[in-house]
């Protein structure tokens, strides 16, 4: 076996797919590159992992440096390492996905000269993307839909207080299909993962009861229930 120095070393990157819900549509946060490779193309936030840095820390650092976004739910997604995925050389990307409440963050240009724009895009209407980032977004969406069936991950996209209509809409938006209202609400209440507050949301229609998520009940509750669509 040869010495480590006898082999060429690949670079390691960390890329992060940030999802939110806006106007009942699932959106992903993208940056437009200002330099080659793929100048003018859109990508998910990310960059190279520094020698003294953990990949997760790199993902959070790059997200902050490129978009100003901080304090997000973060989960490792997948490792993308197909040769030729980056024209600059051999690059292996450890990808992550994050879920945020759109009312709590405001992405912005941070002055990074390599980035021209920062914008939200509907996952069903993505622009021309660089590298293999369209594949990364697609994989992240698949994972999110899968996790929605057995975990409370979707609550990361809701404000602290929400209506049952908000919750149902979240599921329908992510799954891109309708959920039976009566069955959905019955199972949510049976699971015990939400609790009523003493507040109601006022609007043009009848005031709706506001609920809060019960984190301590989630892990056991989702093992027993599958929502019917």
Co-location of 25 and 126 in the same domain: yes
pTM: 0.87
What does the pLDDT read at residue 37? 94
Average pLDDT, integer, range 45-69: 95
Co-location of 178 and 77 in the same domain: no
- The CATH code of the domain that includes 111 is 3.90.79.10
For the chain, the domain total comes to 2
% of the chain residues with pLDDT over 90: 65
% of the chain residues with pLDDT over 70: 90
What does the pLDDT read at residue 223? 52
Instruction: Give me 213's structure tokens.
Output: 């998520």
Q: What is the phi/psi pair of residue 76, to 5°? A: -65, 140
What does the pLDDT read at residue 141? 96
Q: What is the phi/psi pair of residue 154, to 5°? A: -60, -25
Is 135 part of any domain? yes
Is 176 part of any domain? yes
Is 227 part of any domain? no
Spatial separation of the C-alpha atoms in residues 56 and 73, rounded to whole Å:
12
Tell me which of 92, 116, 148 is where a domain ends.
148
Which tens digit of pLDDT belongs to each residue from 120-141? 999 999 999 999 999 999 999 9
Which tens digit of pLDDT belongs to each residue from 92-109? 999 999 999 888 888 988
Q: Poorest-confidence range of 2-16, 38-52, 124-138, 193-207?
A: 2-16
Is 158 part of any domain? yes
Please say if the pLDDT value at position 192 is more than 80. yes
Please say if the pLDDT value at position 152 is more than 50. yes
Average pLDDT, integer, range 201-213: 83
Q: Where does the pLDDT of residue 161 fall: very low under 50, low under 70, confident under 90, or very high at 90 and above?
A: very high
Nearest Cα neighbor of 125 from 16, 23, 14 is 23
Is 204 part of any domain? yes
Co-location of 164 and 70 in the same domain: no
Instruction: Give me 221's structure tokens.
Output: 């509750």
Tell me which of 92, 121, 148 is where a domain ends.
148
| Domain of 134, in residue numbers | 10-148
């Amino acid at each position: 076996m040869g010495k480590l120095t006898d082999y060429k070393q690949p670079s390691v990157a960390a890329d992060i797919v940030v999802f939110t819900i806006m106007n009942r549509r699932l959106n992903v946060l993208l940056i437009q590159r200002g330099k080659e490779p793929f100048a003018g193309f859109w990508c998910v936030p990310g960059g190279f992992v520094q020698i003294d840095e953990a990949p997760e820390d790199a993902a959070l650092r790059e997200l902050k440096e490129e978009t100003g976004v901080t304090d997000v739910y973060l989960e490792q997604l997948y490792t993308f390492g197909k040769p030729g995925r980056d024209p600059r050389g051999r690059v292996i990307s450890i990808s992550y996905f994050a879920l945020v409440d759109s009312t709590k963050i405001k992405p912005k240009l941070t002055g990074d000269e390599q980035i021209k724009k920062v914008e939200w895009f509907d996952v069903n209407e993505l622009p021309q993307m660089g590298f293999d980032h369209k594949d990364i977004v697609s994989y992240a969406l698949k994972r999110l839909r899968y996790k929605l069936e057995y975990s409370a991950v979707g609550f990361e996209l809701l404000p602290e207080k929400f209506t049952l209509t908000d919750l149902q809409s979240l599921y329908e938006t992510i799954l891109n299909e309708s959920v039976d209202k009566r069955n959905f609400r019955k199972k949510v209440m049976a699971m015990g993962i939400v609790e009523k507050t003493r507040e109601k949301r006022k609007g043009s229609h009848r005031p709706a009861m506001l609920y809060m998520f019960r984190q301590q009940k989630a892990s056991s509750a989702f093992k027993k229930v599958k929502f019917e669509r």
